Structure formats: C-alpha cells, structure tokens
A and B are shown apart, each in its own frame.
Chain A
Amino acid sequence: MKLAFDIFTVSSVSAGALFFLAGTVGLLRFPDSLTRLHALTKVDNLGLGLVVLGLLPQTNGLFSAFKLVSIWLLVQLSGAIVTQLIAGAVRQHGSHG
C-alpha cells in the first residue's frame, strides 16, 4: 500500500513539475502580456494542484491534508484575481513589452 502511495506521489508531483516547466517556458517565450498571464495561470491551477494532490497521501492526518488543499485554493483565488487585475491594467494602459 505504501509503495502504491509513493508511486502515486512521484507521478503526480512529476506531472505538476512538468506543468511548472511548461508555464515557465511560456512565460519566457510568449509574445505579449496577456498570453504570458495565460501561461502563468495554468501553472497555478494545474501544476500546484497536481503537486498538492500528489502530496496528500504523504500527510499525517486529515488536518495537514486540509491545510495543503487550502493552500491550493488560496493560491488559485489570489492567482485568478491578480491575473484579472494585471490584464485590466494592460487593457487600460497598453502593454509595455
């Protein structure tokens, strides 16, 4: 059972890391602010989500698992809203580079 949990953790966290890598490449390579924001939100939602999902079997107790999931939810909330605010500023003032 322990081995199955470990395999699940390794595969899920690796998949999350892959999303982080893809998001970083997108952040560096995409042509303008809006598409770069798009790349960034994918990392926040899916990458961190997969990392948290993978770490859940490794927690000791429900409370730690709850804390991990709350961190993911809070990052999603702040990520989504900050992205909205930046995108709004870009639309209003135009993108600089």
Chain B
Amino acid sequence: MTILSFFDIGLVVLILGVGAWTIAAREAFAAVIAFVVYGLLLAIAWVRLSAVDVALTEAAIGGGMTGMLMLGAVARLRSAKGNDTRTGLPVRLVAGVLCALIAVGLATAILLPPEAIPTLAPTVMENLAQTGLGNPVAGVLFVYRALDTLLEKVVLLLALLGVWSSAPDSVWGGIPGLRVYARPNSTLTFLAQLLPPVGIVVAIYMCWVGAKEPGGAFQGGTVLAAMWLLVMIAGLESVPSISQPWLHLLLVVGPVIFLVIGLAGFVWATAFLAYPSGYAKPLIVVVEVALTVSIGVALGMLAAGPPERVQQQ
C-alpha cells in the first residue's frame, strides 16, 4: 500500500459520503452546496485517473455551472413558497424504484465488465499525427466523433430554448430574471472590474491549448460565461433581452460554422465532417474558437434564467 492508495481510498470514501449527504440533506440550499463539493471531489478523482480533460469539464460544468443553475432554482423555489405541494407516497415510491434500477444497472456494468474491454485507443494514437493535434481527447472529439460533438452543442441550444419557453407569453422576448446586486463601490463591483480581463485571457488560453493539452471549448466557454455573469450580477452590464439579434447570432455562430465546415467536407474531403488533409488543425481551431463563444453565451443565458420582464422602451 503506497501513500497514494490511502489518498485514493480516502477520496472515494469522501465522495460516497458527500453523495449520500447530497441526497439526505433536508434543505435544498445545503443539498446544492454538497452537490458542488461532490463535483469538485469528482474532478480530483478524474485527475487521479489521468483524465485531466474530464476533470476540467467536471469542475467547470458539474461543480460550477450546474451548481449555479441549481442555486438559481433554489432561490426561485424560495420566492415561490406557499404553493408547494408535498409529493404523494406512490410518486416517491416509483422514483425510488427507478433510481434503484439505475443503480443496479450501473453496479452490474462496473462489477461485471467484459473480459477484454473494447477500445479504439491504440488506433486513435496511431492516427493522431495526421490531424495535427497533440491532445488525443481533442482528436477524438473533433475528428473521430465530430458528429457527437456537434450534436452536443445543439443540445445546449435546445436546453436554452427549453428554459426560455418556460416564460409566460406576456414577457416572451423580455429580459431574464437574473438577480442583480448593483451597489457602486462595493467589493462585488471591484471583483467584477478586476477579474474579467484575467478570466478572458484564461478562457482564450484554455480554448487554444485544447488542441495539444487538456482544455478546450467547453472549459473555456464556461470561464467566459462566469465572467459575463459576474459583470451582469454586479450591474456593470445590463442583462440583454432574449430577442436581441446579436445574442442569437453569438448563440448559433459555433454550431453553424461547425456545420458549414462539416458540409464542406463533402466537397473538399470524402464525407460529412471530414477535413481536407493538411487543413485539419486550422479548421478545428476555427471551430473551437466559435464554439467557445457560443458555449459561453449559452451557459450565461442558461444561468440567467427565463425572461421575467419586458424591455422598457
């Protein structure tokens, strides 16, 4: 037993403990905080499994962004108090049975793995040099599973449409109900003035370095979204109404460029989402940059929530 195996065992016990606490916590706010801690611990676990790309995404999306979304949900539930109905026993029973089924399924998949786990990793590593990318994860995401990556970004837009659709008709196209704490000369204003330049540089770095080391569009986009939200919450920039044309443009620019390059693959190369040889890396970088912007705006608007008031003329 090395000291690292002690660390790993401790980490697993902590993850299980925090996971159990997330479920057992009676108060929604405490459960969300526990969930964020759970996400950060999972990120450390991914680092221990040498999956730094996954760790970065888990910390950014699983811990940070989802935590922010759920804190927003808790705040909404608090202000909507009074008409909360307790779910009946049958519903809770069905939910419990379904959760138990999923747990059993996962447990069988993990405890009874096939003799030889099917893998394409050696083939990817052999052909990675052709793409001009140094990071195998980016290679798989943008060359071998490009369709999955494209659809993943479209799903993000669908999620945003879902959030926007929950607004009543009267405020459709209005301004999202993000809580703004505009107090001039407060420490929050100071942070919102100081941090964004640093954050934007970090986001660009993460997006750029994703081609050869862990990082990429999702991680960079999350940092961008965080900076944008900080500036909006501090009241330095107003929250845009969802009918703004520039907002729509930024939201779709990433997927559209990805799709155009993918369609051009029919002409330049052999198939949809195939890159002409020699141009793979520059094209992928263009797609990554556009996707970073779109992901940043989409995540920011997701956190800002559904529209709540119409724009004053």
Q: Which DSSP category, helix, strand, loop or mixed, fits chain B's interface? A: helix
Contact stretch, chosen from A13-21, A37-45, A54-62, A73-81: A73-81
User: Shortest CB–CB separation between residue A86 and chain B, in angstroms?
Assistant: 10
Closest residue of chain A to B194, judged by CB?
A: A77
Contact with B along A75-97 (1 / 0, CB 8 A): 00110010011001000000000
A81 near B187 with CB under 8 A, answer: yes
Contacting residues, chain A, for B188 (C-beta < 8 A): 81, 85
- Indicate if the CB atoms of B198 and A81 lie closer than 8 Å: no
Whether the Cβ atoms of A74 and B198 lie closer than 8 Å is yes
How many chain B residues sit at the interface, stated as a range, is: under 10
A contact face: mostly helix, strand, loop, or mixed: helix
- Chain A residues with CB under 8 A of B187: 81, 84-85, 88
A81 to B198 alpha-carbon distance, docked (Å): 16
Residue of B nearest to A83 (CB): B187
| Minimum CB distance partner of B190 in chain A | A81
- Chain B: minimal CB distance from A37 (Å): 13
Interface residue? B191 (CB, 8 A): yes
Bound: A74/B187 CA distance, A: 15
- By beta carbon, the residue of chain A nearest B181 is A85
Q: By the criterion CB–CB under 8 Å, are B191 and A78 in contact?
A: yes
6 example contacts (A-B, Cβ-Cβ < 8 A) are as follows A74-B198, A77-B191, A77-B194, A81-B187, A81-B188, A81-B191
Q: Which residues of A contact B (CB under 8 A)?
A: 74, 77-78, 81, 84-85, 88
